[in-house]
């Protein structure tokens, strides 16, 4: 089964979306998932829905690579997610069809590009950190929720609830539950019934 995915970067681009849907339908896609949004924040619920929908032997079809990805790394990640379900991907503008040997070869080239892109990104990051350190501006990573475990434990022992602890320490409630779970050996689901030991 051919499954299409169409996306435009803004809700105003309805004509562009309609063109994609028409092309995908013309190619024989029995189901087309439509999405409005930039995808910059990686929130593409309809793409996730399309990947969840496909079954072994299906092919996910898009008109261009930027419909499903923002970079070579992102594209590879999406393709791998589809292939993990026993399905393949077809990108019309690039002539990529992972069901064919040439498509698999192109994907291999993309993998090399993605690795190169990742290396460049890490190199720029290292250079930026080195420059910041030289100027005395580098502060390192911000404290994580795990780094606040002692604070969570202390407030919990004082009888404070998970929501109050999360608000006070500016971390998520889920992080509080994870830390308390590690402290008590209890599952997250049962932590609401766990009381701190009395002094």
The residues assigned a catalytic role are 9
Given the DSSP bridges, would you call strands 59-62 and 96-97 parallel, antiparallel or unpaired? unpaired
Contact call for residues 86 and 56 (beta carbons, < 8 A) = yes
Distance CA 37, CA 69 (A): 12
Distance in angstroms between the alpha carbons of the first and the last residue of the chain: 64
Distance of CA 46 to the CA centre of its chain: 13
CA angle at residue 98 from 1 to 94, to 5 degrees? 105
CA–CA separation, 11 and 125 (whole Å): 34
Q: How far is CA 105 from CA 27, 77, 97, 131, in A?
A: 23, 16, 10, 39
8-state DSSP, 56? T
Can you say how many angstroms the Cα of residue 16 is from the centroid of all Cα atoms in its chain?
A: 25
Ramachandran area for residue 191 (φ above 0: left; ψ -120 to 50: alpha; else beta): alpha
């Amino acid at each position: 089964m051919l499954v299409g995915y169409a996306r435009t970067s803004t809700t105003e681009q309805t004509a562009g979306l309609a063109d994609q849907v028409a092309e995908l339908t013309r190619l024989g896609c029995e189901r087309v998932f439509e999405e409005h949004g930039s995808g910059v924040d990686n929130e593409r619920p309809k793409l996730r829905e399309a990947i969840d929908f496909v079954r072994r032997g299906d092919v996910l079809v898009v008109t261009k690579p930027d419909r499903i990805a923002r970079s070579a790394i992102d594209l590879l990640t999406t393709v791998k997610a589809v292939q993990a379900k026993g399905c393949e991907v077809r990108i019309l503008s690039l002539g990529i069809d992972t069901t064919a040997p040439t498509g698999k070869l192109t994907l291999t080239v993309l993998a090399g590009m993605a690795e190169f892109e990742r290396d460049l990104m890490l190199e720029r990051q290292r250079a930026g950190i080195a420059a910041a350190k030289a100027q005395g501006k580098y502060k390192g990573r911000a404290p994580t929720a795990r780094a606040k475990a002692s604070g969570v434990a202390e407030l919990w022992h004082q009888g404070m609830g998970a929501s109050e602890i999360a608000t006070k320490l500016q971390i998520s409630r889920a992080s509080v539950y994870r830390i308390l779970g590690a402290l008590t050996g209890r599952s997250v689901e049962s932590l609401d019934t766990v009381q701190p030991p009395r002094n």
